[in-house]
Amino acid sequence: MKFINYLEGITGISIYPLTSLLLFFTFFIVASILVMRTDNGFINHMKNMPLEKESND
């Protein structure tokens, strides 16, 4: 039940912020490139989803 002080220490705490920054940066770049190279037809289909006619009247 005691949540504190399980381990006496971990070396190199700076690895946490560095890893996170790197992870995000890579992810962001990859996502952006992929998004740029997307087919326009598909994008238009997705875009118009909320505007599709929904009832018969």
Binding residues (CB under 8 A) for other proteins: these are 1-10, 13-14, 16-17, 19-21, 23-24, 27-28, 31-32, 34-36, 38-51, 54-56
The least CB distance from residue 19 to other proteins, in Å, is 7
**Residue 34: half-sphere exposure toward Cβ, Cα within 13 Å:** 6
The least CB distance from residue 18 to other proteins, in Å, is 10
The least CB distance from residue 4 to other proteins, in Å, is 6
Find the Cα–Cα–Cα–Cα dihedral 36, 37, 38, 40, rounded to 10°: 90
Entry field: residues in the chain: 57
